């Protein structure tokens, strides 16, 4: 549960921050949207430091699966494009992979 409490807000912080850049570059919004965008990206990076993974690479790999699902949710809720069955299948596969990376029994050195 702690993992979800870290990765889910981190994903939306990253997506929100990146969307601010998208809005500026692709939607013609004011460059002022970059201020909350940058703050959101800082929040994202800070949140990932609380990952229970044993190293940064695994933390980012696990996060990747959550990010994919969060991106599809963002697309649906913010941009109005609901995921189709292929989006959902792909997201489920990614989450399964992230879960395997997180929960795999490993010998610690």
108 vs 82, residue with greater confidence: 82
Mean pLDDT of 87-107: 93
Q: What mean pLDDT do residues 32-43 have?
A: 98
3-state secondary structure 74-98: HHHHCCCCCCCHHHHHHHHHHHHHH
Q: What is the pLDDT of residues 12-28, one digit of tens each?
A: 999 999 999 999 999 99
- Please give the pLDDT value at position 11: 95
Q: How confident is the model at residue 2 (pLDDT cuts 50, 70, 90)?
A: confident
Over 80: is that where the pLDDT of 109 sits?
no
* Cα–Cα distance, 91 to 64 (Å, whole number): 10
Give the residue-averaged pLDDT of 41-46.
97
How far apart CA 64 and CA 81 sit, in angstroms, is 21
* pLDDT at 1 (0 to 100): 67
Give the pLDDT confidence of 86-96 residue by residue, as tens digits: 999 999 999 99
Asked if residue 98 lies in contact with residue 62, where contact means CB atoms within 8 angstroms, the answer is yes
String of b and e for 53-69 (b: at least 16 CB within 10 Å)? beeeebbebbbbbbbbb
Residue 75 has pLDDT above 70, yes or no: yes
Q: Would you state the pLDDT for residue 52?
A: 86
Sign of CA dihedral 21, 26, 31, 36: negative
């Amino acid at each position: 549960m702690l993992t979800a409490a870290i990765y889910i807000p981190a994903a939306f912080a990253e997506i929100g921050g990146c969307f601010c850049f998208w809005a500026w570059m692709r939607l013609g919004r004011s460059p002022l949207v970059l201020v909350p965008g940058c703050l959101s990206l800082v929040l994202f990076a800070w949140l990932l430091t609380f990952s229970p993974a044993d190293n940064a690479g695994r933390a980012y790999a696990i996060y990747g699966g959550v990010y994919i699902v969060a991106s599809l949710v963002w697309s649906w809720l913010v941009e109005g494009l609901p995921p189709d069955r292929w989006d959902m299948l792909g997201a489920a596969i990614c989450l399964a992979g992230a879960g395997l990376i997180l929960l795999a029994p490993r010998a610690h050195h």
